Amino acid sequence: MLLQTQSTTIRPLTTAHLAQTMTLLGLTSFELYQKIETELASNPALELTAERVCPHCRRPLADSNPCPICTRPSNSNPNEPIVYVSSREDFLPSKYTSSESEISEEGLTPDSEDLPTYVLRQIAPDLDPDDHFIAAHILTSLDDDGLLRTPLAEIAHYHHVPISRIEDVIHLIQHSDPLGVGSQTPQEALLVQLEILAETTTIPPFTAKAIQEGMDLLSRRQYSELGHKLHLPLSNVKEIANFISDNLNPYPARAHWGDVRQGSSANPDVYYHPDIVITSQGESEVTHLMVEVISPLAGRLRINPLFREAIHDAPQEKAEQWQEDLDRASLLVKCLQQRNNTLVRLMQRLAVIQRQFILEGDSELAPITRASLAEELGVHESTISRAVASKAVQLPTGRMVPLSKFFDRSLHIRTALLEIIAKESKPLTDIQIAKILDKQGYQVARRTVAKYRAMEGILPAHLRSKNKQNIR
DNA sequence: CTATGGCACGGATT
DNA sequence: AATCCGTGCCATAG
């Protein structure tokens, strides 16, 4: 394996060293930024050097290694990705909103973890700063479906504000992507989506009414009764039902995270900060991948040499304090290096294994486990787990995905499934889908097909029509 | 009778 | 040790 980061030979590990490395590894670049910032402010032994820039390409460099792009041998293997630590200015966390830290604490599942942050970024520009707390509270209270099950009164009481104000914030949240998040019921979510959709599409008459008044009948598919209630012929009711199942999603969070496209209709001010950025260079056969592990600092963290000098003739009463500062500082620097080193090695390997996925998309994702990678790299499994958890990657397409997606065991099958359903001329049952998948080389039980379908938010065959339009 | 969702079990993964 | 995931069995809706 070429291109290692030269500088870090691993020294004898103290337990403190180990513990801190572990901690740092699990942090996102934003959290890292916070940590270093406070340390920098309180510890005189640390200093941040001026940013180092590659003399050739003017690329900012975050470690002491030579510029990986300019020093790279021209005959290098194109499959060998360039991985390095970068401090690109446009990803520096100093630009992030400060409300961030409050959001990501609750014990959410990894998949939904980023939803609150994602939504908050969208609404932040329109949000009264005083309401940030409320928004954060609401967003972290969402269940896995993106619905808010907590009574509004409870939230209002907690923040000592009138319910109407909570409702205003929710209104804002509901109208961001995924549409309808933060609704209290599936019904409400549908109505929000319907409202937006009405601007661009024609909607069967009485759809809103059907949702409002006949939700239970609708979900139970008791169409004839519903028709009776609304005084509509059965054909109209079926039309409404089909429209809803084709265009609306009662559980806003279900199939949406991961589909996040940047820049589309989302607010341009919205900042989604990756911890790792992958870009591709060149075209066709000789595409090179460049992987940047984002360093949250413009410049390099090191021990202040003056401080190191000064400590020799420190006044008696300060000596102990200073020594402690120095130790802490050097520990942090070392651990930081090690964190970066681990991440670089991890990405080095991942970029090779998942090259196809990065370039081609979901269907090419190789199903690998953290454990197998840990073995290859010769590190403990938990190291990989930590490194992978809660990190966001920006792919060359601009898509943001959680790093954990690189370890998704079933994604490739799910995309195959998605494709089958997209192409179907008439709704296929789970068993039929299972058979087709089997022909394609994916052996899955019929029951599993059903689960994947649910994961993707696709309705069962009998209430699916061939109309393959999505929300928006 | 067929298609699907719920529950729960066991093995793999973290 | 805790959690996740695929799967089989069974009840239920259509």
- 10 Å Cβ neighbour count for A253? 23
At residue A106, the pLDDT reads 33
At residue A4, the pLDDT reads 43
- For A450 and C8, how far is CA from C1' in angstroms? 14
DSSP 8-state class, residue A351? H
Residue of higher predicted confidence among A8 and A415 = A415
| B chain positions with any atom within 7 Å of a protein CB | 2-7, 12-14
Of the candidate ranges A147-151, A256-260, A360-364, A395-399, the one whose mean pLDDT is the lowest: A256-260
Mean predicted confidence (pLDDT) in A95-117: 41
At residue A449, the pLDDT reads 94
| Gap between the terminal Cα atoms of chain A | 45
The closest alpha carbon to A98, from A77, A73, A65, A120, belongs to A120
Distance CA A42, CA A93 (A): 20
- The domain segmentation of chain A, as residue ranges, is 15-90+273-407, 97-174, 186-247, 411-463
Distance CA A341, CA A51 (A): 19
Nucleotide nearest to A450 (CA to C1'): B4
Amino acid at A144: D
DSSP string, A37-60: HHHHHH-TTEEEPPPEE-TTT--E
Coil vs helix vs strand at A288: strand
At residue A273, the pLDDT reads 65
Asked if the Cβ of residue A370 lies within 7 A of any atom of strand B, the reply is yes
Beta strand residue intervals within A237-349, DSSP E: 276-281, 288-294, 301-303
At residue A169, the pLDDT reads 92
At residue A9, the pLDDT reads 41
Distance CA A51, CA A61 (A): 7
At residue A267, the pLDDT reads 24
Q: Say whether pLDDT at A315 is over 90.
A: no
Residue at minimum CA to C1' distance from nucleotide B12? A369
Beta strand residue intervals within A249-377, DSSP E: 276-281, 288-294, 301-303
- For A207 and B14, how far is CA from C1' in angstroms? 46
Mean predicted confidence (pLDDT) in A133-137: 87
Residue of higher predicted confidence among A401 and A325 = A325
Asked if the Cβ of residue A443 lies within 7 A of any atom of strand C, the reply is yes
Strand A276-281 relative to strand A46-48: parallel, antiparallel, unpaired? unpaired
Mean pLDDT value across chain A: 78
Q: Say whether pLDDT at A369 is over 90.
A: yes
Distance CA A362, CA A353 (A): 14
Q: How far is CA A424 from the centre of its chain?
A: 31
Asked if the Cβ of residue A112 lies within 7 A of any atom of strand C, the reply is no
Residue at minimum CA to C1' distance from nucleotide C13? A220
Distance CA A388, CA A406 (A): 9
Asked if the Cβ of residue A2 lies within 7 A of any atom of strand C, the reply is no
The closest alpha carbon to A88, from A360, A296, A379, A265, belongs to A296
Mean predicted confidence (pLDDT) in A326-340: 89
At residue A108, the pLDDT reads 32
At residue A66, the pLDDT reads 81
- For A348 and B9, how far is CA from C1' in angstroms? 39
- For A385 and B6, how far is CA from C1' in angstroms? 31
- For A26 and B13, how far is CA from C1' in angstroms? 18
Nucleotide nearest to A382 (CA to C1'): B14
Quick: pLDDT tens for A281-313: 776 667 888 898 888 887 788 898 888 888 888
Buried/exposed code over A429-449 (b: 16+ C-beta within 10 A; e: otherwise) = ebeebbebbeeeebebeeebb
At residue A465, the pLDDT reads 59
Residue of higher predicted confidence among A401 and A284 = A401
Q: Say whether pLDDT at A472 is over 50.
A: no
Quick: pLDDT tens for A192-244: 988 988 888 888 888 888 888 877 777 666 666 677 778 777 777 778 877 88
At residue A25, the pLDDT reads 87
CB proximity list for A179: less than 8 A, separation 6 or greater: A189, A192, A193, A196, A252, A471, A472
Asked if the Cβ of residue A461 lies within 7 A of any atom of strand B, the reply is yes
Residue A354 pLDDT class (50, 70, 90 cuts): very high
CATH number for the domain whose boundaries are A411-463: 1.10.10
Asked if the Cβ of residue A429 lies within 7 A of any atom of strand B, the reply is yes
Distance CA A189, CA A182 (A): 8
* Residue pair A60/A52 in contact by the 8 Å Cβ criterion: yes
Residue of higher predicted confidence among A57 and A209 = A209
Residue A30 pLDDT class (50, 70, 90 cuts): confident
- For A401 and B5, how far is CA from C1' in angstroms? 30
Quick: pLDDT tens for A235-280: 777 788 778 876 777 777 654 443 333 322 222 223 356 788 898 8
At residue A437, the pLDDT reads 92
Distance CA A19, CA A113 (A): 25
Q: Say whether pLDDT at A402 is over 70.
A: yes
Residue A114 pLDDT class (50, 70, 90 cuts): low
Considering only residues 271-300 of protein chain A, which place a Cβ less than 7 A from any atom of strand C?
Answer: none
Q: Say whether pLDDT at A112 is over 60.
A: no
